[in-house]
Chains A and B, each alone.
Chain A
Amino acid sequence: MNGAQAIIRSLEREGVSHIFGYPGAAIAPFYDRLSDSNIRHILVRHEQHAGHAAGGYARIAGSPGVCAVTSGPGATNLLTALATAYMDSVPVVAITGQVDSGLLGRDVFQEADITGAAEPFTKYSYLVKEAKDLPRIVKEAFHIAATGRPGPVLIDVPFDIQMTEAKFDFPKDAVIRGYRPTIRGHAGQIKRVIRALEQSEYPLICAGGGVFAAKAQDTLREFAESINIPVVSTLMGIGAIPTSHPLYMGQVGMHGKSTANDAISEADILILIGARVSDRAVLLPDKVKRRTKIIHIDIDPAEIGKNLDTFLPVVGDAKTVMEQVLSHSPARKSDEWVEFLTEKKASRRIDLSDRVNGVNPKRFVNELSKALPDDFIYCADVGQNQLWSAGNIDIRTGGRFLTTGGMGTMGYAIAAAAGARIASREMSDGRFTVAVCGDGAFQMSMMELATVVQHGIDVKVVVMVNGKLGLVREIQTDSYGDRQTAVDLSGSPDPVAIARAYGIAGDTVDTWERARDGMQKLIERKGPYLLAVRVDEAESSL
């Protein structure tokens, strides 16, 4: 069998059902053999979205998403999606075609040093030198992508290697001596956590995206409920426990709920679980440092102590470490601290008021999420729509909020939603999946409506239309004397007309009454649907 077949056979062995991709000359042998396989190929309309779709797939499936593109521009177009997956710790395996190995370095047609270019954005990468190595490399790539702190792995395969005959020898296990992630927390550290918890009066949990990576949502809930510890989350951790849970105090950070930020500054112990406390997550690290002792539970030792001084580091898998702590049956804390925060939370309500112009987007997000089935998948793009979504979404048990918190890549939502929806279909009849974006991000991703139609992917799209790059406009208003520069989106097409051109039904709503009807139509509709929601350009993010 040749190298191309060896890759496909290895992907089958890894249980891959879908590949998101875009073909080209340098990856033609791979595509030629792909038609012999049961693996379904989803043809996207831009390589970047192959990566986002694979990422969306991975976040719902809990196993790596796979994408394939050609050499040169195909591969460089994929870079942004790799960087997105890297920053958000999402397992993706990317296969890129490469020019003949004998021509490497000669700047031939469609040659790009993609392993070099992707180095800062991948957990690991391979430039394949021999066809016989392919099964081992694929095995290792999946192992590296999915274990430890998940992330993207790139396999760059020269054209001639895809064509070379070699023996297929698929290893049972990936043996990589320099890679052994720590799963169990150190027993001594666990005891110290118990002791610190015993002495604490105002403990607080900050949940990050690592809770999802460890599939630890249920354990987190049990952990918080049994010890009676309030929970805040980072942007990536939203939904780690239901937003309506009495112990949940909201999202922390620059764009977070002030109850959550208050909780952080009042807490005597802050337990970070799978959260890397980025610059956006912690408003005033100095304030936190002074008052609060930090217990940091993370599978990536390099994150501990990077952004905040840590009192007690625990390296390990979020789920395993929480279970270890729970096995010591830590005592339940009094209600006083929870009640204090609950009172604060109660004084801050979601803004449901009517708008003079257009629809109140915060109310829209809140009521839409409440009306959806509990196990919905909500993909928020980047910009004001992301903050309206993050701040006002209602998530019950089983619901997922997918967004790119680290990279903040515009144009993420539609492709990610397509991948997520496909993953959900493998596990059940499919979960209700909606992508919410602004009119800026929509125009970076609207070509993917064709992907959705071609492959019958039931994804709903909400476009918040305000004719501006709203978040940048807000920055200019607040910090640059409202001198609005290059944020006007005049000339943009009507999203509903665009949808119609792709054969997707849709509607525009500009009042609350119509928005409510539109929401109903969006929910009841079988198949893709686009709802354009008019929003006043002066609407604030928070």
Chain B
Amino acid sequence: MKHTIAVLVENKAGVLSRISGLFARRGFNIDSLAVGPTEDPLISRITIIVDGDDYMAEQVTKQLNKLIDVLKVRNLAENEITRRELALVKVNVDESKRGEIVDIAKIMGCEIVDISHTTLMIEFDDRPERVDLLIDLLSKYSIAEMARTGTIALQKGQESV
């Protein structure tokens, strides 16, 4: 089962290596990890998606909490959050396929952000499973290169970490 864990940390050197080191050492599997600053420049927010049972999720939470640079850890329940991921996908195209790909992009609600004689670059931000769907649809064509940010998530309503 996938767990979405939000971690608030001190925004200073070495913190990310402490966190990724902990995951490697204790054998926790990370599906994705996204880091960025928050409204407070001294605090960064890390969103981690881990795949494992409840025991593992509890261990991840406790071990993260133990790190001195970690300020808050919260295992976010699926139904209480909004999740997003950004993807950039560059697809090799020729004249005959361009129309089909533009259709897919339109239907999915993507933006085409770059175009050349032989490529299209598609930008898409949505729920991670929608990003997966887009990539699945595009995989029928030739994907030249792609980048995903990893999932970020916030709680809905007034709740916060």
Residues of A within 8 A of B (CB): 115-116, 119-120, 123-124, 127, 144, 176-179, 300-302, 305-306
Contacts and interface: CB of A to CB of B under 8 A. Distances in A.
15 contacts: A115-B14, A116-B17, A119-B17, A119-B21, A123-B68, A127-B14, A178-B9, A178-B10, A178-B68, A178-B69, A301-B66, A302-B59, A302-B62, A302-B63, A302-B65
A301 B58 CA distance: 11
B65 A301 contact: yes
B150 to A, nearest CB: 23
Contacts of A127: 13-14
B67 interface: yes
B25 interface: yes
A179 B21 contact: no
A119 B18 contact: yes
B21 A306 contact: no
Interface residues of B, number: 20
Nearest to A301: B62
A302 B22 CA distance: 13
Contact of B25 (A120, A178, A179, A305): A120
A306 B59 contact: yes
A306 B18 CA distance: 20
A124 B21 CA distance: 13
A369 B48 CA distance: 53
B70 interface: yes
B18 to A, nearest CB: 6
A124 B10 CA distance: 14
A401 B159 CA distance: 50
A176 B71 CA distance: 10
Contacts of A176: 68
Nearest to B63: A302
Contacts of A124: 68
A306 B59 CA distance: 7
Interface string B1-41: 00000000110011001100100010000000000000000
Contacts of A300: 66
Given A301-B62, A301-B65, A302-B65, 7 more contacts: A119-B21, A176-B68, A178-B9, A178-B10, A178-B70, A302-B66, A306-B62
Contacts of B71: 177-178
Contacts of B13: 127
Contacts of B67: 178
Contacts of A306: 59, 62
A20 to B, nearest CB: 25
Contacts of B66: 300-302
Contacts of A144: 68
Interface in B44-94: 55, 58-59, 62-63, 65-71
B140 to A, nearest CB: 44
B69 to A, nearest CB: 6
Contacts of B59: 302, 306
A383 B59 CA distance: 32
Contacts of B14: 115, 127
B153 to A, nearest CB: 21
Contacts of B65: 301-302
B124 to A, nearest CB: 35
Contacts of B9: 178
A116 B24 CA distance: 14
A116 B59 CA distance: 23
A115, A116, A127, A178: most-surrounded residue (chain B CB, <10 A)? A178
Nearest to A140: B68
Pairs of residues from A and B, 8 with the lowest C-beta to C-beta distance, nearest first = A302-B62, A178-B71, A179-B68, A124-B68, A302-B66, A119-B21, A178-B68, A302-B63
